[in-house]
Amino acid sequence: MSGATNDNILRLDPRPSLRLGVNIDHVATIRNARGGDYPDPVKAAHIAAKAGADGITAHLREDRRHITDRDVERLGQEIDLPLNFEMAATEEMLAIALKAAPHAACIVPEKREERTTEGGLDAAGQHNHLAHFVRALKDNGSRVSLFIEPSTAQIEAALSLGAPVVELHTGAYAEACNEGNADEAASILEDLRAAAAFGTREGLEIHAGHGLTFDSVTPIAAIGEICELNIGHFLVSEAIFIGFHEAITKMRALMVAARSGSGRGA
Ligand code: PXP
């Protein structure tokens, strides 16, 4: 949809070691609170591109609480960066993804009653249900990832489903950091490190995301096997105080510092 090919990903991303996908969902959350046209998530995607994002991430939820079908269409028409389309494994979302043909499709669990994507996909338990979605999206040319908890069983399930990418859910780690629970954060970080190492050894591309902030991103960005972080809610929140461009620039700088070994806790 974005016209992104492997060639232009390489052209757009001079730092392939750790990409930043900016999630613009919550720009749409604020717009939808009043039902008008602003703030426009597509305008936010343009700003993200100028600020150095490597991709745009958007989740079209079943209840359309933030991103709408029209936003997805406009992202495809107006934004040159690769689009990472987050979607539930439903026939409705599959039809939209097949038509939009985004660069990447990330399959996430979705429950109407949840506030955000709480917990990873049960790739192991839902193998038979997911196989059809993974195959159809891959055949349509999208890079498929599964949003999973950092566990060996889930990585093995992703492998058996033929998904080339997994995105490790960092939500529990980020929450432990926010609550000042250092032991819990350290323990989940170990699971994330182990999962990233195991997945890489088995040939998967490893992404991570959910709940990351300026304070929690560094140890995650320092995990050398991770090649993409998807971050949204905090960047949109921080935009209120320092602007969206500045928030993205600062997050990117923290990621680069962590990867070069000069970040805190790296
Ligand atoms: N990755 C996935 C798969 C997600 O579902 C989300 C939330 O939509 C994110 C990353 C970004 O999470 P946050 O908005 O908390 O940064």
| pLDDT of 118 | 74
Q: What does the domain layout of the chain look like in residue ranges?
A: 17-260
Ligand 1: atom nearest CA of 231 is 16
Q: Tell me: pLDDT of 3 over 60.
A: no
Phi, psi of 142 (to 5 degrees): -85, 145
| pLDDT of 148 | 97
Residue nearest to atom 5 of ligand 1 (CA): 117
| pLDDT of 264 | 54
Q: Tell me: pLDDT of 139 over 90.
A: yes
What predicted TM-score, i.e. pTM, was given to this entire model?
A: 0.92
Cα(231) to centroid(ligand 1), Å: 6
| pLDDT of 12 | 43
Contact 179, 157 (CB under 8 A): no
Amino acid (one-letter) located at 71: D
pLDDT digits (tens, 9 = 90+) for 31-69: 999 999 999 999 999 999 999 999 999 999 999 999 999
Cα(23) to centroid(ligand 1), Å: 7
With bands split at pLDDT 50, 70 and 90, how would you rate the model's confidence at 210? very high
Instruction: Taking residues 180-199, report their average pLDDT.
Output: 98
Q: Tell me: pLDDT of 202 over 50.
A: yes
Q: Tell me: pLDDT of 14 over 70.
A: no
Active site residues: 59, 86, 210
| pLDDT of 82 | 97
| pLDDT of 263 | 66
| pLDDT of 119 | 81
Contacts (Cβ under 8 Å, ≥6 apart) of 25? 41, 57, 58, 59, 66, 67, 232, 233
DSSP tally for the chain: helices H, then strands E: 12, 8
Name all residues whose Cβ lies below 6 A of ligand 1.
23, 25, 59, 86, 106, 108, 116-117, 147, 167, 209-212, 230-234
Q: Which of 67, 210, 233, 254 to mutate to test the pocket of ligand 1 (most atoms within 8 A of CB)?
A: 210
Contacts (Cβ under 8 Å, ≥6 apart) of 89? 107, 121, 126, 129, 130, 133
Q: Which of 230, 238, 244 to mutate to test the pocket of ligand 1 (most atoms within 8 A of CB)?
A: 230
Query: Which of the listed CATH numbers 3.20.20.70, 3.40.47.10, 3.50.50.60, 3.10.690.10 matches domain 17-260?
Result: 3.20.20.70
CA–CA dist 246, 191 (Å, integer): 31
Cα(55) to centroid(ligand 1), Å: 13
Q: Tell me: pLDDT of 80 over 80.
A: yes
With bands split at pLDDT 50, 70 and 90, how would you rate the model's confidence at 4? very low
With bands split at pLDDT 50, 70 and 90, how would you rate the model's confidence at 15? very low
CA–CA dist 169, 120 (Å, integer): 6
With bands split at pLDDT 50, 70 and 90, how would you rate the model's confidence at 11? very low
As a whole number, the mean pLDDT across the chain is 92
Cα(114) to centroid(ligand 1), Å: 13
Q: Tell me: pLDDT of 177 over 70.
A: yes
With bands split at pLDDT 50, 70 and 90, how would you rate the model's confidence at 133? very high
